[in-house]
Each structure stands twice: as structure tokens, then as C-alpha cells.
Amino acid sequence: MMKDNTLTCPDCGRTYQPPAVQCTVDGAALYDQTAAKRVGTTLGSYEVSKILGVGGMGVVYAAQHAILEKPVAIKVLSDRFASREGGVEQFLREAKAATRIRHPNIVDVTDFGTAPDGSVYFVMEYLEGITLEDVLARDGTVNLFNAVNIIRQCCHALSAAHEEGIVHRDLKPENIFLINREGRRRVVRRIHDDSQERYVVEKEGRFDFVKLFDFGVAKYTAEDVGPSVSTRAGMLFGTPQYMSPEQARGEDVDGRSDVYALGIVFYEMVAGIVPFDGDAALDILNGHVSGTVVPPSQRNPLVTVDEGTNRTILSCLEKEPAARYQTMLELLGALANCFTDQVFLRDAHLMPGAVEAGITAPSAPPRQGSITDELSELFKGGGGEKLEQLVGFPEGDIIEEVGHQEPPDADEGKEHKTNPGIGSVKKASTPEDPPPQERTQGTMTYGVVCPPPEGPPGEEAPRQRKITSSLANRRRKR
């Protein structure tokens, strides 16, 4: 009996025959009958209910645990990719990378197994939302405030990955998943009236929580992580529109290559177009290597890009890695200068006129004693040395690194208290602002000076030391 080679679109259900690879109506990748037959079956302890999407490496299904009824997503490696040299190893690498990093802005992988037909799969947390690629295809651009919030979360996730010796190498909007959530932070908005400027403090509303995924072509720089995808001279991995110059040349890369790619994503969000594109991949790569980057402020006449954002993006896109931000934390710091008429309340001092209008960030609560302080007190002054001898770490290092697990822009509004002398960040409840004298439907309009904070607005301190480890070339549809 002849094999049924019919291919189906997961979005509209239209059917095709090879060599078709995507739907001519909606552009979705097509899946074969083998993928379709898994729906309604069981993979390990999970009951498969439907196809969520199709990628270059395999098919992603919606499923739930047969006993616990917990919803999950299952990615099954395609037979076509499994037959390639190193295909299975690359698939497993993606699962191992996510598990090793364990960061709230990176999709969590919880299980792995082999299907009855021999196919390998891994189980991920089930996410409801859309990719940044979908947002750009729908809206064209992302407003600056939301764009900066997305980039901030990506910085936290990638910083954690780099600390584990993992370079993503394929950052692009398709691999940035957005989950719309209710925010709890407060935002300052500058409103331009005909006669004057007003500043309003209001609740954040809903925001996009980021989940990074697809570490399939990641590079591992730490010896204990495992081998990377083969990087023979001249072999390229990634998507041309988002490759760094050194990546385009087939050279060795490090975390600064991810800085470049994230800069491309930032550029695209605010300008609505990538800096280098074309019909031929070679032309795109040559643009990254030797082409001149047109500033995003000059690329799209329909959008306004402030000078701080312009400067930050262009710094990410320097040709030489040494001229870029050297770490994700450096880029994170530069993002504080990327704004127009909206900032988080904690950054109110950065917006010209806000402080003069009486808007101040909440003051940090008094520092609470830690176990280090208590033990030092027991040792009567010489506690630092004795404590180090007792627990094997310098004083202060035994405090839990909460910042690694929940970055400030990923935890829905909790302010962070910084202790520069300790390589960690402790979370503290956000104190309430002084009662406003004028309130309308939950919004505070400021014209009255509030009591100043006792200290400078809190900023997250970069971690000084880590104690515990915790599809083809894409073309934008316009």
C-alpha cells in the first residue's frame, strides 16, 4: 500500500502534496499524516489532544497528564530531522539547556521520553499566548514602553543562560513567546496638553510576560554542559536576519552575539523592519558583516524613536563584539534611558519634570536583619571570619539569590532592595505612596509634592558572584 504523503495546515486545515512546505493562505508550516495520527493517542503519561504548531525540528502538541490532568505541551522530533546526523542530539540539547538554566523567562522542560514508534519527545509547560513574530505581523511595531519591557525580560533570561555557559545563537521574534498578564506595578505617564504638561501615576494594567525557547542550536561554552552543535569552519547556525557579524562569518561566538541579535529584535519592534533583509541569504549576511546600519529613527517615518533608544540599539549593533555592550546586564542598565512619555514609577527620577511635579519613587523599607547578621552578632564582632570558616563562603554569600529566579520585570511589580555589598538581591514588598490628594478612577494626578524618599530609587544590583547553579530562513510577512 502506498504511503499517504498528504500534508495538512494546522491553522486552516487545507491539504497539500509534497514538495509543499507551508500553507499558501496563512503561511503556516504543514504537518504529515504521521503527526496527525498522534492526536488522541498517549505519549508516556500524557494524552495528546491537538496540534499546536509545526517547526523545523518537529511538531508541538497540546496534551495533559492522564492522572493529574495538568496541561502540558509536548514537542516530538520529526522523522526527517531525526534522520540527520546529530539531529537527536540537537533536539535533546534544547531540552537540557532549558532545564539547566531554570529561569522564569525561559520555557520549563519537565520530562523526556520515547514514543511507541521510536520518536523522541520532551514535555514543556503549557503556555497560552502568541509569539512576538505574530505581534509584529499583526501590528507592525510595538510601542516603546512595551518593547523595553520585553527586552528587559529577555536580558534577564539570557544573562542567566550566559552564566550557565549557554549562548542561544538563534534569537528572533519567533522564539519569544508573550503571555498577557495583569500587572501590579505603577507607571508614570507624561501627558501633553495644549497649555502644559501633566504627569499621571496609574496602575500598569496588562503586560507581556516573556518566555524564551528553542535552544536547539545553542552553543555551550562551559565544559561541563556538553557538546554544541557542530561548528565546523564555514557552517552557519541561526536565521540570517538576526545573525551577528561574527556568526555570519562562521566564527566562534559568545554572549555578545546574543546582544547583537537582541538589538536586531529591539530595532524591529520600534521601527517595524529589520536593518538588513533581502531575497538572498548571502546579501543579508553581507549586510551584517560590512553594511551600514541606518538608525531606527530614520528607518520608518511613521514612528518616533527617541535618542536614548536610538543610541542603545546602535550600540548593540556594533560590528566588533568589543564595541557592544559586553553583557546582558550592561544592556539592561542602558534600557533605563529608553523612554518617551511613560516609565515605571521606580524610574520617575529619569523623566524630566516628573520630580519637579512631585512624583517620587517609593522609598525602600529599612533593611531587615539576615541570618548573616544574626550569626555575626553571636560571634561578637569577629563573625565575618568565623562565619566564613563555618559555612565555607564569604560573609553575605549564603543569602538566597532570589534575583536569579525572579527578575524585577518578570514578577509583576515587586520592587527590589539592593545591597551593593552582597552578590544577591532580596525581594521586598512595595511600600505604598503617600495618600494622593486628588484621585480619579484609580489614577493619581500629581500637582502636589510628595515627601521625598529617604534614599535613591532602588535599582537591581548585578550579581557579583553565583553560589548555586541553579525554520528555515524567515521572511517577514508584511
Active site residues: 170
The overall longest dimension of the chain from CA atoms, in Å, is 85
Measured in whole angstroms, the distance separating CA 192 from the mean position of its chain's CA atoms is 32
In whole angstroms, give the CA distance from residue 328 to residue 307: 20
Q: Is the peptide bond before 420 cis (omega within 30 degrees of 0)?
A: no
How far is Cα 130 from Cα 137, in angstroms, rounded to an integer? 11
Distance CA 325, CA 333 (A): 10
Q: Cell numbers of 191, please?
A: 501627558
Give the separation between CA 265 and CA 223, rounded to whole angstroms: 30
**152 contacts 146 by C-beta, under 8 angstroms:** no
| Cα 469–chain centre separation | 20
Contact 409/347 with Cβ under 8 angstroms?
no
CA 228, CA 252: separation in Å to the nearest integer?
A: 12
Spatial neighbors of 282 by CB under 8 A, at least 6 apart, are none
Q: To which H or E segment does residue 131 belong?
A: strand 130-131
Specify the 3-state DSSP secondary structure of 26: coil
Cβ-based neighbours of 215, under 8 Å, separated by 6 or more: 93, 94, 97, 98, 161, 166, 168
Q: Evaluate the CA torsion angle 246, 321, 158, 126 in order and state its sign.
A: negative
CA dihedral 118, 122, 126, 132 (to 10 degrees): -110
Please provide residue 308's backbone torsions phi and psi, each rounded to the nearest 5 degrees.
-60, -45
- Determine the Cα angle at 60 with ends 54 and 66, to 5°: 155
Q: Quote the Cα angle for 295-172-248, to 5°.
A: 75
Instruction: Please report, for the chain, how many H helices and E strands are present, in that order.
Output: 14, 20
